[in-house]
Chains A and B, each alone.
Chain A
Amino acid sequence: MTADPVTVRVERLAKQFGPVAALDEVTLDIRAGEVLALVGENGAGKSTLLKLLSGDHRPDSGRLLVDGCPVDFRSPADGRRAGVRVVAQEPEIIPDVSVAENVHVGALPLRGPFVDRRALFADVDAQIARLGFRGIIDSRTPGRLLSAPQRALVEIMRACTGTVRMVAFDEPTSSLSAREVAALFALIARLRAEGVAVVYVSHRMHEIFEVADRVAVLRDGQLVGVRDVRSAAQADVVQMMVGRDLSALFERTPRRPAEVALRLRGVSSGDVADVDLDVHSGEVVVLAGLVGAGRTVLARAVVGDLPIRSGTVAVSGREVRLRSPVDALRAGIALAPEERKADALLLRRSVRDNVSLAVLGRLRRMRFMRARAEQVLVTRYVRQLNVRTPSVDQEVRKLSGGNQQKLVLARWLARRPTVLILDEPTRGVDVSAKAEIYAIIDELAAQGVAILVISSELPEVLGLADRIVVMRSGRVVGELARADATEASVLALAMPGAEVGTAL
């Protein structure tokens, strides 16, 4: 094993985002003809490492060596030229050109000044056949018609054109069904046999133990250790990832769910069809499912941000008409969206402005803000949620991810909704902030708020939920009581099974 030549050497690589060390002096060898799995919780630094490898970001310190020579990638194009490829989790697909043109984007085969379309399609068709993707994807389909797994395959084909020294896959199976996963694993085996260095990022332990030779564990931006897959136990790797026993993160006060606070009947919106769902006051319901299962769409529809095609929404027994988020808020439904920076925070405004945003109506007299009342309210929530900030005048972009997320929660706590929907409330948040957020959710439920959490992290799903509702392809496919749920049973419902096949 150790005789394998090192293709890419990561040497004391570090990257800082604001106050957070996303990657902290990581040194790692990526060897030819070997599959190196990269694991770690969300926010551990995997994506940052991949972005430094691809040239998408530049390191603050440390260096990359390809075949022993130091390289400085200033853009993804530099990385590509050096044969270093990263398969993005959410690929950029150009909607109005074909699969073939998408694969060769930026480097179309030419004949004179014109694109050689015959050579282009011949090449991509050959590639599809070689990679075992025939029947799954067609080279002439326009980008906008592609399903999520097909988009992933286009991205994989992009990475595998030209001279390839190293390929990194970022959670490639998150949107793939069994058949495409098999094709992907076959492809990885072939890359390895050809002497390509493969990096494989995934949350799915069984996959790692199936495809990888070695596994490198990241935690809070640091490399915890590298293990040989053959000699490592799964539990050992998980322990390295979390650094502590996860179950200790979830504290629960006993609570008795009361009447139904939110009732959906036959709700359809976008790709979501015919959803029935009840959330009781004082209950935490977790919506589980794969990325793209329609959970976020459902949440946006329930707060009036996406039009509801059919079906009814009732809050505390009263049916509500949702034309805009204003209606939903008036009815008592609030949403803390998934992308907190893009969709929830005013990054250049103060802690105060962010927390009071949803209760301005309560804090004004004749349109003038009551400064004292606002100060009291914001300070109370900042203290209650233990937000670490020098003052309430602090600009929010200077706070860490966990503290930012707490501010989003504070905004909705101040609003005192009947139903609170939290879309991935702990994404990109460190472990200790996670525990605090779980405690806040627990306390809110104890106070009688009906809480609907969308989460893709299985330990979180199992730890938080009183009840788990699983969605797949826009529909509710099952419900599990807390006592019956295991990672396996939730996954079995969430993954497209054999009976669904690969009909996309």
Chain B
Amino acid sequence: MKAEPDLTGRRQDAVEAAAGGHHPQPRRRPWRQALTGVGVQNISLLIALAALSAGIGSRNPDFFRVANLRGIGTAVVISGILAVAQTVVIILGALDISVGSVAGLASVTSAMVFTSMHSAAWGIAVALAVGLLTGLVNGVVIVFGRVNPVIATLATLAAYKGLAQLVSNGRAQGFTNADSVFIFLARGSVAGVATLIWVFALLALLVHVMLRFTDVGRKIYAIGGNETAARLAGVNINKYVLGVYALTGVFAAVAGILITARTGSGQPVSGSEGLELESITAAVLGGCALRGGKGTVAGTVLAVLLLGVLTNGMTLLDVNPFWQNVAKGSLLVVAVIIQQLRSGERRIGVPS
């Protein structure tokens, strides 16, 4: 991201020079160029993040302590991974509300396989496979069953949660806190940065590169932006819908494995409930348009941090945890309202 403005700048000049005299050449100032490089949405998020941090910090100086900031960092990882996956789904013009249930199912799977095979690698591998499979099932139901994505994943939200409860009998499973791999995932660090954060950063970077620099990303934006246009331009839409849901399943499984590592056992429900709401809120707050075709990983990551700071701040300031749920729900609505206002949507009927 950091090298970006310079690169864009050079490209732009080349075009304008090549475009010749009859093209208007707006004067570009460096700060303006930097602004367009980062994006108005992201600037607003950065300002909000700074303001919120300053506000919380001034009321409780503990906020700025390194331990607390590290705590925020690790706390946002699980919902952050899901938010990044959700970003891709939303850019495609769809929604996946089953991510929390998939994470729960993957969590119990990883712990139970670990317990019976005595191998963290097997536990993780099987959990990832389960994630892939559940994601593919979502995609197949949507593409070949012609089911609206919200309805399809609402159904699997319930079904996968049920499956997780069935295999685990509704109880936390296994004990992973003695295994070095799980300990490394939960509490280890590399180069002074927590493993959890590395995992999140790596996955976010991966998706960022895919969306921004590959033809796969271009096609995902195209499908979300205008499905007919993409189809007529020869994009195999079904393939991409299946692929994106499979990817989301795998990401949800990673989140589930991290839940197991952090809590020390497989959690069918308790570690993953509400994650669908958090991931969608973060993606929308980060600038993803719910109608598709618009959004960035950078925006989503900033929004994830903002939400993390907000949650942490509410805890530090002793806000009743029940109010925190109300705040999270309100935030999603506010984020969408801001977006709709910016896009100039007319206030008639049920919004699409």
A residues in contact (CB < 8 Å) with B:
75, 303, 305, 324-326, 329-330, 334-335, 337, 342-349, 353, 356-358, 360-361, 363-364, 367-369, 371, 375, 379, 382-383, 386, 388-393, 411
> Could you give, for residues 284-311 of chain B, a 1 whenever the CB lies within 8 Å of some chain A CB and a 0 otherwise?
0000010001100000000000000000
B residues in contact (CB < 8 Å) with A:
8, 11-12, 14-16, 18-20, 22-26, 213-216, 218-219, 221-222, 225-226, 228-234, 236, 289, 293-294, 348
CA distance A356 to B229 in the complex (A): 12
Closest to A326 in B: B234
Let me know if A326 and B236 touch, CB within 8 A: yes
Let me know if A357 and B214 touch, CB within 8 A: no
A417 → B minimal CB distance (Å):
11
Beyond A390-B24, A391-B12, whether A346 also contacts B221 by CB under 8 A is: yes
Q: List 27 A-B contacts (CB under 8 A).
A: A305-B231, A305-B232, A326-B236, A329-B233, A330-B234, A337-B228, A343-B229, A344-B229, A344-B232, A346-B221, A348-B289, A348-B293, A349-B222, A357-B222, A358-B234, A361-B215, A364-B215, A367-B216, A369-B218, A375-B14, A379-B14, A383-B18, A390-B16, A391-B16, A393-B8, A393-B12, A411-B233
CA distance A349 to B221 in the complex (A): 8
Let me know if B16 and A357 touch, CB within 8 A: no
Let me know if A348 and B232 touch, CB within 8 A: no
Chain B CB within 10 Å, residue with most, of A361, A388, A391: A391
CA distance A386 to B232 in the complex (A): 24
Let me know if B15 and A379 touch, CB within 8 A: yes
Closest to B19 in A: A383
Closest to A330 in B: B234
B212 → A minimal CB distance (Å):
9
Let me know if B233 and A347 touch, CB within 8 A: no
CA distance A346 to B236 in the complex (A): 17
Let me know if B229 and A391 touch, CB within 8 A: no
Q: Across the interface, which residues of B come within 8 angstroms of A360, CB to CB?
A: 215, 218-219
CA distance A375 to B17 in the complex (A): 13
Let me know if B23 and A390 touch, CB within 8 A: yes
A56 → B minimal CB distance (Å):
10
B318 → A minimal CB distance (Å):
42
Per DSSP, chain B at the interface is helix
Let me know if A391 and B232 touch, CB within 8 A: no
CA distance A335 to B16 in the complex (A): 30
Let me know if B11 and A371 touch, CB within 8 A: yes
CA distance A424 to B236 in the complex (A): 26
CA distance A389 to B22 in the complex (A): 10
CA distance A226 to B205 in the complex (A): 63
B232 → A minimal CB distance (Å):
5
Closest to B229 in A: A344
Closest to A371 in B: B11
Beyond A325-B231, A379-B18, A391-B15, whether A368 also contacts B225 by CB under 8 A is: no
- Number of interchain pairs (Cβ within 8 Å): 106
Let me know if A346 and B226 touch, CB within 8 A: yes
Closest to A366 in B: B214
Let me know if B225 and A347 touch, CB within 8 A: yes
Chain A CB within 10 Å, residue with most, of B214, B215, B219: B215
Let me know if A390 and B25 touch, CB within 8 A: yes
Q: Across the interface, which residues of B come within 8 angstroms of A383, CB to CB?
A: 18-20
Q: Across the interface, which residues of A come within 8 angstroms of B216, CB to CB?
A: 367
Q: Across the interface, which residues of B come within 8 angstroms of A369, CB to CB?
A: 213-215, 218
CA distance A334 to B229 in the complex (A): 12
Q: Across the interface, which residues of A come within 8 angstroms of B22, CB to CB?
A: 386, 388
Let me know if A346 and B293 touch, CB within 8 A: yes
A371 → B minimal CB distance (Å):
7
Q: Across the interface, which residues of A come within 8 angstroms of B16, CB to CB?
A: 390-391
Beyond A369-B218, A383-B18, A391-B16, whether A348 also contacts B234 by CB under 8 A is: no
Chain A CB within 10 Å, residue with most, of B8, B18, B19: B19
9 pairs of A and B residues whose beta carbons are closest in the complex = A346-B225, A360-B215, A343-B228, A329-B234, A358-B233, A357-B233, A367-B214, A364-B215, A326-B234
Let me know if B234 and A346 touch, CB within 8 A: no
Let me know if A349 and B225 touch, CB within 8 A: yes
Q: Across the interface, which residues of B come within 8 angstroms of A329, CB to CB?
A: 233-234
A155 → B minimal CB distance (Å):
20
Let me know if B11 and A375 touch, CB within 8 A: yes
18 more contacts with CB within 8 A, not counting A344-B228, A349-B293, A390-B26, are: A325-B232, A326-B236, A343-B232, A353-B218, A357-B218, A360-B218, A364-B214, A367-B214, A368-B214, A369-B218, A375-B11, A375-B14, A379-B19, A383-B20, A388-B24, A391-B12, A393-B8, A393-B12
CA distance A367 to B294 in the complex (A): 21
Q: Across the interface, which residues of B come within 8 angstroms of A388, CB to CB?
A: 22-24
Closest to B232 in A: A325
B345 → A minimal CB distance (Å):
14
CA distance A356 to B222 in the complex (A): 11
Q: Across the interface, which residues of B come within 8 angstroms of A356, CB to CB?
A: 218
Q: Across the interface, which residues of A come within 8 angstroms of B14, CB to CB?
A: 375, 379
Determine which of B15, B228, B230 lies in contact with A357 in the assembled complex, contact meaning CB atoms within 8 Å: B230
CA distance A358 to B231 in the complex (A): 10
Q: Across the interface, which residues of B come within 8 angstroms of A357, CB to CB?
A: 218, 222, 229-230, 233
Q: Across the interface, which residues of B come within 8 angstroms of A337, CB to CB?
A: 228, 232
Q: Across the interface, which residues of A come within 8 angstroms of B229, CB to CB?
A: 343-346, 357
Q: Across the interface, which residues of B come within 8 angstroms of A345, CB to CB?
A: 226, 229
Determine which of B8, B23, B214, B221 lies in contact with A353 in the assembled complex, contact meaning CB atoms within 8 Å: B221
A389 → B minimal CB distance (Å):
7
B28 → A minimal CB distance (Å):
9
CA distance A305 to B221 in the complex (A): 21
Closest to B14 in A: A375
CA distance A356 to B217 in the complex (A): 13
A180 → B minimal CB distance (Å):
32
Beyond A346-B222, A379-B19, whether A368 also contacts B213 by CB under 8 A is: yes
CA distance A364 to B217 in the complex (A): 12
Determine which of A334, A342, A393 lies in contact with B228 in the assembled complex, contact meaning CB atoms within 8 Å: A342
Let me know if B232 and A303 touch, CB within 8 A: yes
CA distance A390 to B16 in the complex (A): 8
B284 → A minimal CB distance (Å):
15
CA distance A303 to B213 in the complex (A): 29
Determine which of A335, A347, A361, A363 lies in contact with B232 in the assembled complex, contact meaning CB atoms within 8 Å: A335
Beyond A357-B218, A361-B215, A367-B215, whether A389 also contacts B23 by CB under 8 A is: yes
Chain A CB within 10 Å, residue with most, of B16, B18, B236: B18
CA distance A371 to B213 in the complex (A): 8
A10 → B minimal CB distance (Å):
23
Beyond A303-B232, A326-B234, whether A344 also contacts B226 by CB under 8 A is: yes
CA distance A386 to B293 in the complex (A): 27
Closest to A359 in B: B233
CA distance A347 to B11 in the complex (A): 22
Q: Across the interface, which residues of A come within 8 angstroms of B294, CB to CB?
A: 348
CA distance A200 to B16 in the complex (A): 47
Beyond A364-B214, A367-B215, whether A353 also contacts B18 by CB under 8 A is: no
Q: Across the interface, which residues of B come within 8 angstroms of A367, CB to CB?
A: 214-216
Q: Across the interface, which residues of A come within 8 angstroms of B18, CB to CB?
A: 379, 383
Q: Across the interface, which residues of A come within 8 angstroms of B218, CB to CB?
A: 353, 356-357, 360, 369
